Amino acid sequence: MNWLASDAGMVRKLIIKDWQVYQKQLAGYVAAMLLALSLVGMGTPWMASAGALLLLVLLLVVGTYAIQSSIMAERKQQTVPFIMSLPVTPMDVYWGKLLANLIIYLVPFVLVVGGLLALILTTPRPDGAVIWVAVVAMFMLVIFCISLCVAIAVDSEGWNVFTMLALMTLIGPFMYWISGFDGITQYLKSDDIVWSAPVIALLSAELAVIIIAILATSWLHARKTSFL
C-alpha cells in the first residue's frame, strides 16, 4: 500500500490546472474579502460587525465553492474516463485534488486572518483578541479540511452536502463556547496576548483533527488499486 504519489511532476500539473480554472473566481472572492476587511477597519461597531460577518460567510462560501466545483461537479460530469487516460495513479489524482483545494482555500484564508490580526495589532482594539481570532480561524480551517476529506472519500453528493451543513452549524456554538473559554475570556478586552496552556491545548486539538482527517483519507485512497 503506497501513500505517496508516483509522479510529483504530474501532481504539480494537476494542481496548476485546478488553480488556473478557479483563479478568476478566487480573485472575486479576494476582492470581496478586502472590502469586508475595510469595513472592519472603519472602527464603528456596526460596520465592524457587518465586516466580520461578511468575512465569515465568504470564508465558508469560498471553501464550499472550491469543493463543489473541483470534486463534486467533476464527478457529475463523469470525467473519470478522461483522468484514466492520463499517465496518473489514483494517489496522483488524490494528492493533486487535496493540495489544489488546500492552496485555493489557504490564499483567502491567510489574507483574512492576516488582515484581522494586522487590524487588531495596529489599532486601539484590545490585542488580547488575537487569541480569539487564532482559535476561530483554526476552527474554520478544521471545517474546511474535514469537508474536503469527506468530499474526496465519499462518492455521494447527499452525504457531502449533509456533512458541510452539519459542520457549518457548529460555528455559532463554537464561537459562543470559546468566548467563555478559560485562557481567552479574561484577556479578550486587554492588551495582553497570552498563549495559555488551555489555548495551546485547544489549538493542538484542532490541528490534530486536521491531520487525522487527512491521514484517514490518504489511507482509504492508498487501498485503491483503480479509479473506480
User: Per-residue pLDDT tens for 31-49?
Assistant: 999 999 998 888 788 888 8
d(CA 9, CA 38): 40
Confidence band of 80 (pLDDT split at 50, 70, 90): low
The answer to whether the beta carbons of residues 47 and 128 sit under 8 Å apart is no
Taking 3-state DSSP, the helix, strand and coil percentages for the chain, each rounded to the nearest 5, stand at: 80, 0, 20
Q: Is the pLDDT of residue 189 over 60?
A: yes
d(CA 189, CA 199): 16
Q: Is the pLDDT of residue 182 over 70?
A: yes
Owner of C-alpha cell 487501498: 223
Average pLDDT over residues 51-71: 89
User: What's the Rg (C-alpha) of the chain?
Assistant: 19
The whole-chain average pLDDT of the chain stands at: 87
Q: In what helix (H) or strand (E) does residue 34 lie, and over which residues does it extend?
A: helix 8-41
The answer to whether the beta carbons of residues 30 and 109 sit under 8 Å apart is no
* pTM for the model: 0.90
